[in-house]
Amino acid sequence: MKKDSTTFGLEPEQVQRLFNIGRDTKKADKRVGGAERKAEILHRRLSETLPLDKSQVEMLPAVLGNLCHTIGLLAGETILSLVKNPSTDMSLIERIKRYGKELSTRAKSEAEHEVATAIYYAAIANALAFHDLRITKFSYKKLEMAFSRLVKEEWISKDLSVLFKIAGKYCKDRAKS
């Protein structure tokens, strides 16, 4: 049985060149895709409602805890709306900060870790910009650097970018005084 050629008459060097072109394209796609993937994960996380605290759920019987969690998901505001809102209660901002930290420890990829870190810093930014409170031990200088870095990331949503700019300016002013 005669096998048909699968190289369409190309020389081995030409086939190798084609493979190399394909390999280079995948590398470029990964770089672009990384930012797109982070943007997608960030959008998904910010569109979620804040889960109930474990201590709250543990106080309730299992069935009632699940029901409260479901009702909370249906009635609650998104994480993005909470961190953008100047009047969000500080207890919720603290919960968002803890949630960002938890997500960071559970992250299965670098993209998930960076998104979790952005959520963590969004809570800190809200506390600084809207409540005049620093809810972290980081210095104002370190916070300013972190906010500045996050603002430059192309995958950060416009809403968070604005919040990070406000908080960065706040930290810059505080670091000077």
Residue 51, pLDDT score: 79
Q: Is residue 83 part of a domain?
A: yes
Q: Is residue 12 part of a domain?
A: no
Q: Is residue 109 part of a domain?
A: yes
Q: What is this structure's pTM?
A: 0.71
Domain region containing 85: 36-49+78-176
Count of domains forming the chain: 1
Residue 172, pLDDT score: 96
The list of the chain residues with pLDDT below 70 reads 1-10, 13-33, 52-75
Q: Is residue 145 part of a domain?
A: yes
DSSP result, the chain: -PPPPSSTT--HHHHHHHHHHHHHHHHHHHHHHHHHHHHHHHHHHHTSBPPPPHHHHHHS-HHHHHHHHHHHHHHSPBHHHHHH-TT--HHHHHHHHHHHHHHHHH-SSHHHHHHHHHHHHHHHHHHHHHH----SSS-HHHHHHHHHHHHH-TTS-HHHHHHHHHHHHHHHHHHH-
Q: Is residue 28 part of a domain?
A: no
